[in-house]
Amino acid sequence: MYTEYDYNNLPIVDIVNDMLIDASRKRASDIHFDPTPDVLNVRIRVDGELILYAKVPASVKKNLVTRIKIIAGMNITESRVPQDGAIKMQVDGSDLDLRVSTLPIVYGEKVVIRLLDYSSSLSTLDTLGFSERNLELVQKAISKPNGIILVTGATGSGKSTTVYAILQQLNTIERNIITVEDPVEMKIAGINQVQTMSEIGLDFANALRSILRQDPDIIMIGEIRDNETARIAVRASITGHLVLSTIHTNNSLTTIERLVDMDVERYLLGSALEAIISQRLCKKLCPKCREARPTTDYEKRVFKTALNMNIDYIYKPVGCESCYKGYSGRIPLQEVLILNEEIRDAIVNNEPKEEIRKLIYQNDHATSLLDDGLIKVINGLTSFEEVLRVIDIEDDLGEEQVHLKNAIIGKADVEEPNPIDMTQAKEDVEELETMDQLEIETPEYIRDVETLPTMEQEMTPVESISLETLE
């Protein structure tokens, strides 16, 4: 990844151009220019990880930052306040949008360039890493004429990619699809995409009200962020529209909880919610250099407890010319929940969280993120460490999953006590009685203890407290 430029001879214009093009070809999502007391460090974020890309010597660092500010349309005479700008360029025949921002720090101006590559985010559903069963469930959910389908996950978990892939598939001449987004991340011909503009009052809620008068079949809401949007989304779906949206939650269960917290009526939510697709990204093992290795006892126990499978070999990252430290690209872990009658009833009846959790996973109704991840480890798509890194033990596992929690944190399971054997108990009592008869001299250090009050003496019996005393 590290690149040496001939800073003394190459024009700064060429160096900047080359850095932008190279970062894009390396599939970087961001480029950071970090001022230090001497050099300017250039780092690129690939597959979620920042990697040192270049060190720009002190002699040219000021010029390099100025060049970026010029092409981003920024004020080059101002370096004391943060600025925003944009660059549009073509790389290998496709359009590339760059969002540039500067921030004055103690050693100078830090510049971060975000690369939005529209062409690479156009994916079809079958290339998004869904297991065969999960893909079937998603296909089933999106074939429904109404209801809400939510894609959930943290920022940068690939939610938009999944939503766009679904829209892409639904995008036919027979359907009127309208979206409201902030921002429109990818333009798709045939879909009516609305960009919100809160400064002129065009927010999600306002746009949605107008969209409902535009005879829509399918509505996509970029993100459910507030109570009002959540309520409109639910109402739109029960009046015969398929509503797609994203929400910033961890898994199926936390999504249901969040929507209820957002003041969506339980009886509406119970009938409107159709499916929840939760996802998290893991680094993908490079297929060219990954190597099989035996599993440790710890890993064997996790596989056995989670999947009831004996796994003796898994793959490990190695590292070669076409990857970074054995990983190349990312793969999502997914959980697809199709709401069934039992879960709908549980939502409507305000059943406790742990009850709903049981209904979600019982009889393998939904495959948990952890199980999906472990299966992807077995299939050599990612590593064991990567899956455990993205699993949230508190949120993803239920109160009752003690064995699995213990396996993951490497704690020994406490054995269930054996049923009391009465014969043995009787013998023990007899033995104790015999011991009692023996003359054992009390050791010196115990004598003082004997003079301490016993429990009975210390505690006041409840009956003796009169009501008058309490008042």
* Residue 389 makes contact with Zn ion by CB under 5 A: no
- Rounded to a whole number of angstroms, the minimum distance from the CB of residue 314 to Zn ion is 17
Q: Which residue has the tokens 């230090």?
A: 36
- Rounded to a whole number of angstroms, the minimum distance from the CB of residue 328 to Zn ion is 6
- Rounded to a whole number of angstroms, the minimum distance from the CB of residue 23 to Zn ion is 20
Rule CB under 5 A: which of 263-292 touch Zn ion? 286, 288-289
Query: Closest CB to Zn ion among 182 and 386?
Result: 386
The amino acid present at 261, given as its one-letter code, is: D
Query: Closest CB to Zn ion among 289 and 356?
Result: 289
Instruction: Extract the tokens encoding 405.
Output: 């929690």
- Over the window 11 to 40, marking each residue x when it contacts Zn ion by CB under 5 A and - when it does not, the resulting string is ------------------------------
Query: Closest CB to Zn ion among 1 and 76?
Result: 1
Residue nearest to Zn ion (CB): 286
φ/ψ of residue 96, rounded to 5: -130, 125
How far apart, in whole angstroms, are the C-alpha atoms of residue 65 and residue 76?
Answer: 9
How far apart, in whole angstroms, are the C-alpha atoms of residue 114 and residue 100?
Answer: 6
Rule CB under 5 A: which of 317-376 touch Zn ion? 320, 323
Query: Closest CB to Zn ion among 147 and 317?
Result: 317
Query: Closest CB to Zn ion among 320 and 402?
Result: 320
- Rounded to a whole number of angstroms, the minimum distance from the CB of residue 361 to Zn ion is 35
Q: How far is CA 125 from CA 164, 278, 309, 381, in A?
A: 9, 14, 29, 18
Phi-psi region of 422 (alpha: psi -120 to 50; beta: other; left: phi over 0): alpha
- Rounded to a whole number of angstroms, the minimum distance from the CB of residue 317 to Zn ion is 8
Rule CB under 5 A: which of 161-200 touch Zn ion? none
- Rounded to a whole number of angstroms, the minimum distance from the CB of residue 285 to Zn ion is 8
Query: Closest CB to Zn ion among 183 and 287?
Result: 287
Query: Closest CB to Zn ion among 269 and 289?
Result: 289
How far apart, in whole angstroms, are the C-alpha atoms of residue 443 and residue 441?
Answer: 6
- Rounded to a whole number of angstroms, the minimum distance from the CB of residue 383 to Zn ion is 13
Rule CB under 5 A: which of 100-119 touch Zn ion? none
Query: Closest CB to Zn ion among 87 and 289?
Result: 289
- Rounded to a whole number of angstroms, the minimum distance from the CB of residue 281 to Zn ion is 18
Query: Closest CB to Zn ion among 133 and 288?
Result: 288
The verdict on whether omega for the bond into residue 332 sits within 30 degrees of 0, i.e. cis, is no
Contacts of 308 (CB under 8 A, 6+ apart): none
Query: Closest CB to Zn ion among 285 and 407?
Result: 285
Do 314 and 384 touch, CB atoms closer than 8 A? yes
Do 392 and 398 touch, CB atoms closer than 8 A? no
- The 10 Å Cβ neighbour count of residue 222 is 25
Instruction: Extract the tokens encoding 192.
Output: 């009516």
How far apart, in whole angstroms, are the C-alpha atoms of residue 74 and residue 111?
Answer: 12
- Rounded to a whole number of angstroms, the minimum distance from the CB of residue 47 to Zn ion is 13
Beta strand 327-338 pairing with 273-285: antiparallel
H-assigned helices in 122-265: 132-142, 159-170, 204-211, 227-238, 252-261
How far apart, in whole angstroms, are the C-alpha atoms of residue 367 and residue 138?
Answer: 13
Name the 3-class secondary structure at 309.
coil
- Rounded to a whole number of angstroms, the minimum distance from the CB of residue 388 to Zn ion is 22
Residue 34: which H helix or E strand, with range?
strand 30-35
Query: Closest CB to Zn ion among 157 and 328?
Result: 328
DSSP assignment letter at 200: G
The amino acid present at 120, given as its one-letter code, is: S
Query: Closest CB to Zn ion among 231 and 284?
Result: 284
How far apart, in whole angstroms, are the C-alpha atoms of residue 184 and residue 222?
Answer: 8
- Rounded to a whole number of angstroms, the minimum distance from the CB of residue 27 to Zn ion is 15
Interface segment toward Zn ion; rule CB under 5 A; list 24-32, 54-62, 303-311, 316-324: 316-324
Residue 109: which H helix or E strand, with range?
strand 108-116
Q: How many residues bind Zn ion (CB under 5 A)?
A: 5
- Rounded to a whole number of angstroms, the minimum distance from the CB of residue 315 to Zn ion is 12
How far apart, in whole angstroms, are the C-alpha atoms of residue 158 and residue 138?
Answer: 16
Residues within the interface to Zn ion (CB under 5 A)? 286, 288-289, 320, 323
